[in-house]
């Protein structure tokens, strides 16, 4: 009985670490670790992001977003700030620049918005970032909001974990 409990505990620890225990019909067991996923070397692009976001908006019957160069600028500044000051948040005390707050980044470009918003992700591809936004109720709501009619994207250099910070800024023009 103690041996069975120990085997279950060891299995849980190994599975939690990315290993799987495979047991053959004769009772022999082996440890299997799936092959590592190859990291993507090319960064995601703004073109990929806007296409994927607008596909999702179309699926929901919402008008496509227009890319605004000022929002690209604000989103890029935010992505670079997160990478430089090593934070991943809508606001941060690590950043000396507006505490990282998206609304300041947006308004610093001179754009006038009735409302604005921000989606963030830390990922290796545009597909994975948009999938993450699709899976988060608050991010999805911003992405398909009928209120927003303009967007811009920022993509940082790889962070210390090998991922890109992806930032999407939204604006509702007056």
Q: Using DSSP, state whether 70 is helix, strand or coil.
A: helix
Return mean pLDDT, the chain.
Answer: 80
- Residue 149 in contact with residue 173, Cβ under 8 Å? yes
What does the alpha-carbon distance between residue 72 and residue 152 come to, in Å, rounded to a whole number? 4
Q: Specify the pLDDT at position 41.
A: 63
Tell the residue number behind the tokens 């604006």, with chain if given: 171
Ramachandran angles phi, psi of 43, nearest 5°: -70, 155
pLDDT tens digits along 97-109:
777 677 888 999 9
33 touches 18 (CB < 8 A):
yes
Between 126 and 15, name the one with better pLDDT: 126
Angle, helices 46-59/126-134, rounded to nearest 10 degrees: 30
Under a CB-based contact definition with an 8 Å cutoff, are residues 111 and 70 in contact? yes
- Which of these, 170, 154, 156, lies nearest to 57 by C-alpha position? 170
Q: What are the tens digits of pLDDT across the range 25-40?
A: 334 433 333 333 345 4
Nearest CA to 166 out of 113, 112, 127 is that of 127
Pick from 46, 39, 41: which is nearest to 126 by CA?
46
Residue 153 and residue 72 in contact, taking contact as beta carbons nearer than 8 Å: yes
pTM comes to 0.75
Q: Of 152, 150, 147, nearest to 74 (Cα)?
A: 152
**Whole-number pLDDT of residue 25:** 38
> Mean of the pLDDT values across residues 131-139?
96
Q: How far apart are CA 83 and CA 30, in angstroms?
A: 41
3-state secondary structure of 119: strand
């Amino acid at each position: 009985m103690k041996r069975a409990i120990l085997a279950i505990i060891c299995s849980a620890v190994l599975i939690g670490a990315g290993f799987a225990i495979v047991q053959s019909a004769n009772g022999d067991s082996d440890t299997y670790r799936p092959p590592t996923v190859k990291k993507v070397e090319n960064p995601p692009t703004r073109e990929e992001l806007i296409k994927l976001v607008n596909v999702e908006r179309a699926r929901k019957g919402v008008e496509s977003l227009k890319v605004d160069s000022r929002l690209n600028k604000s989103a890029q500044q935010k992505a670079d700030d997160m990478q430089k000051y090593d934070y991943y948040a809508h606001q941060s005390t690590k950043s000396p620049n507006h505490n990282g707050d998206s609304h300041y980044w947006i308004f610093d470009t001179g754009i006038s918005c009735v409302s604005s918003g921000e989606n963030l992700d830390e990922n290796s591809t545009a597909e994975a970032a948009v999938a993450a936004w699709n899976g988060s109720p608050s991010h999805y709501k911003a992405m398909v909001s009928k209120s927003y009619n303009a967007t811009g994207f920022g993509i940082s250099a790889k962070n210390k974990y090998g991922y890109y910070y992806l930032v999407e800024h939204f604006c509702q023009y007056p």
